[in-house]
């Protein structure tokens, strides 16, 4: 058995022991939404406009117990979904989960990322969350997925960040040392890890970080095992994550948690520093250098990287032209909640937003049929209000030009 095969076998053993994520199965669709798993809102985030088609194919690559897969089915009623995973045990749970909640437009395959070419056809949306960093060869994995992405398609990736997981890596090593020859016995690893945390002084840095950041979800052994006794983990920084992106041959479309990557939140009180950061030369990787500056200044916040990639041709629309914006057809985002009843509601990130009267009246008038110009004839709003709604991704726009 090769080293790569041995690692894959160890990973499969972990997830057969602790199918992940260990979320309960429901007899109804899962609550709420995740806009990254909604084809319309994900595409709009990447390109600034609503996609032309809704009957797309979606791949959940490394679907585990199907928590994300279930959402992908229910949030995309015109799509067909395929889920693949290395763990037969996790796949069995995924199949049961989707069957119970009525997510019937899905098929599952017992495949690793490296064997994804065995699936027929291409996919407009590929979701690969928390998987690549657990493979023996992430570059090979992302390249295999990239070959299955259709032209104009988008891929959502999530990998671990080394700076925000510093304490986790130390605890992983401590558990491995104390397990000794029992390393690879994941139930023993969980028991050892829990004993360590219980024994450490209350002011110990590892214990405090666990209690402050992770302990709520780590009550479940499956989460604890995935975090602290995983047999394979590769953590990234900005430089290495862009090496991964460059190797994919795809276009970087942006981080899907952009507020984290806003330098203003860290040094906005010092305009001269912001100016210096803006003056970084793009020719020498200025954007990546600014991202690196952010993760250095706020290392504990960067526990992971979540981002979209796209396969050319990707057309982005910024709606700078008033003529184009006036002729566009707006509609409310499917991932906002409570907007019909109040000007204050949850946006796609479950953050409370409050619209002014003009913005709200325009939003209420959006029906997916009228153009911006037609709506503005019936409500007291301006193009500035429309741009504000579009920038906040509260409305999706379809071009008529």
What residues contact 329, with CB distance under 8 A and at least 6 apart?
368, 369, 370, 371, 372, 397, 398, 400
Range(s) of the domain holding residue 266 = 3-162+235-310
146 & 58 share domain: yes
Quote the tokens at residue 44: 């709009």
Q: 316 in a domain, yes or no?
A: no
Q: 132 in a domain, yes or no?
A: yes
Last residue of a domain, one of 180, 208, 228: 228
Spans of the chain, pLDDT less than 50 = 284
Vertex 330 angle, CA 328 and 331, to 5°:
155
Q: 268 in a domain, yes or no?
A: yes
Sign of torsion, CA 111 117 122 124? Answer: positive
Q: Which residues pair with 156 in a beta bridge?
A: 127, 308
Q: 333 in a domain, yes or no?
A: yes
17 & 117 share domain: yes
37 & 179 share domain: no
272 & 392 share domain: no
Q: 63 in a domain, yes or no?
A: yes
What is the distance between the alpha carbons of residues 328 and 323, in angstroms, rounded to a whole number? 9
Last residue of a domain, one of 260, 284, 310: 310
- Cβ proximity of 61 and 113 under 8 Å: yes
Q: 317 in a domain, yes or no?
A: no
> What is the pTM for the complete model shown?
0.95
Q: 315 in a domain, yes or no?
A: no
Q: Cis peptide leading into 293, omega within 30 of 0? A: no
Vertex 204 angle, CA 199 and 206, to 5°:
90
39 & 151 share domain: yes
137 & 172 share domain: no
239 & 113 share domain: yes
Last residue of a domain, one of 288, 310, 332: 310
154 & 195 share domain: no
220 & 280 share domain: no
Q: Tell me, what CATH number does 87's domain have?
A: 3.40.50.150
Helix residue ranges, H only, 183-279 = 186-199, 205-209, 221-228, 238-248, 264-267, 271-278
178 & 154 share domain: no
Question: DSSP for 164-193?
Answer: TTHHHHHHHHHHHHHHGGGTT-HHHHHHHH
**CA within 13 Å, CB half, 219:** 3
Q: 24 in a domain, yes or no?
A: yes
213 & 143 share domain: no
Question: DSSP for 271-318?
Answer: HHHHHHHHTS-GGGTHHHHHHHHHHHHSGGG-SEEEEEEEPSP-----
How many structural domains does the chain have?
3
Neighbours of 292 (CB within 10 A): 16
- Cβ proximity of 71 and 34 under 8 Å: yes
What is the distance between the alpha carbons of residues 191 and 273, in angstroms, rounded to a whole number? 48
- Cβ proximity of 95 and 120 under 8 Å: no
241 & 259 share domain: yes
């Amino acid at each position: 058995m090769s080293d790569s095969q041995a690692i894959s076998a160890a990973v499969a053993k972990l997830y057969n022991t602790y199918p992940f994520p260990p979320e309960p199965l429901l007899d109804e669709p899962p609550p709420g939404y995740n806009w990254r798993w909604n084809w319309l809102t994900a595409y709009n985030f990447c390109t600034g406009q609503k996609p032309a088609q809704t009957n797309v194919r979606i791949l959940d690559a490394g679907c585990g117990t199907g928590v994300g897969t279930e959402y992908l089915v229910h949030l995309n009623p015109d799509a067909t979904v395929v889920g693949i995973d290395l763990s037969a045990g996790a796949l069995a749970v995924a199949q049961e989960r989707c069957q119970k909640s009525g997510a019937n437009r899905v098929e599952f395959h017992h495949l690793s990322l490296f064997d994804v070419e065995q699936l027929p056809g291409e996919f407009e949306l590929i979701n690969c969350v928390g998987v690549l960093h657990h493979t023996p060869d992430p570059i090979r994995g992302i390249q295999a997925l990239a070959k299955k992405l259709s032209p104009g398609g988008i891929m959502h990736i999530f990998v671990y960040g080394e700076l925000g997981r510093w304490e986790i890596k130390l605890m992983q090593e401590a558990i491995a040392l104390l397990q000794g020859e029992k390393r690879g016995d994941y139930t023993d690893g969980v028991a050892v890890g829990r004993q360590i945390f219980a024994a450490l002084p209350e002011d110990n840095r590892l214990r405090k970080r666990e209690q402050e950041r992770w302990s709520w979800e780590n009550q479940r052994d499956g989460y604890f095992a995935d975090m602290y006794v995983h047999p394979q983990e590769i953590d990234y920084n900005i430089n290495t994550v862009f090496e991964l992106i460059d190797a994919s041959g795809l276009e970087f479309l942006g981080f899907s948690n952009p507020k984290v990557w806003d330098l203003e939140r860290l040094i906005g009180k010092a305009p001269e520093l912001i100016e210096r950061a803006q003056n970084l030369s793009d020719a020498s990787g200025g954007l990546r250098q600014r991202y690196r500056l952010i993760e250095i200044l706020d290392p504990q916040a960067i526990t992971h990287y979540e981002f979209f990639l796209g396969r050319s041709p990707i057309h982005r629309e910024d709606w700078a032209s008033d003529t184009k914006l006036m002729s566009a057809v707006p509609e409310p985002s499917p991932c906002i909640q409570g907007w019909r009843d109040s000007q204050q509601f949850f946006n796609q990130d479950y953050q409370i937003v409050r619209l002014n009267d003009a913005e709200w009246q325009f939003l209420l008038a959006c029906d997916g049929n009228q153009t911006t110009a037609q709506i503005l004839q019936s409500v007291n709003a301006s193009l500035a209000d429309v741009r504000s709604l579009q920038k906040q991704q509260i409305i999706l726009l379809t071009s008529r030009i």
